Amino acid sequence: MRVWSSRLVCGVLVWLTLGAEISAQFAAENAAMGVLDRFMTAFNARDALAMCETFHYPHVLFAKGAVGVVRTVDDCVERFDFTRFAQRFGWDHSGWDRRTVVQAYPGKVHVAVITSHYDGANEQIDQIDGLFIITRVAGRWGIQSRSIFSQ
């Protein structure tokens, strides 16, 4: 009887430990998806401040063969001009085609994304693949870095 109860206790402890780890992983994944939702909502609303507030700083962007670093939310807002972006590409709105968690830990999540941009007639302009690194810093989840394959 003693062996059986020891095994039961060990089994319960393993289950509780794994359960806590899995729960923490899904909590991180859910938090990351929430950040991505806020990012896309702000992007489509052409709200540079709300979009930039989804980032952690310094924020690193890998795109077009270059590495850009944005130091503060104010720098981010100043750099992004939705009117110019819309005119340059004929852009009206964007959407996630796919968001796949590649790796997740309690404080960091890597999400592979595919995003489409659309014109005012809801015709796809382009599709962009990327990797977003979302981290928890000082209790707040935000996008720390993006690596995108863009035109």
User: Residue 67 phi/psi, 5° resolution?
Assistant: -115, 125
| Domains of the chain and CATH, by start | 2-149 (3.10.450.50)
Cα separation of 150 and 138, whole Å? Answer: 31
Quote the mean pLDDT of the chain.
89
pLDDT at 22: 53
Residue 35, pLDDT > 90, answer yes
pLDDT at 11: 53
Cα separation of 88 and 119, whole Å? Answer: 11
pLDDT tens sequence across 39-67: 999 999 999 999 999 999 999 999 988 99
pLDDT tens sequence across 16-30: 455 555 556 689 999
What value does the mean pLDDT take over residues 1-6?
Answer: 55
Reduced to 3 states (helix: H, G, I; strand: E, B; else coil), residue 119 is coil
pTM of the model as a whole: 0.82
pLDDT at 90: 95
pLDDT at 150: 74
Secondary structure tally for the chain: helices H, strands E: 4, 6
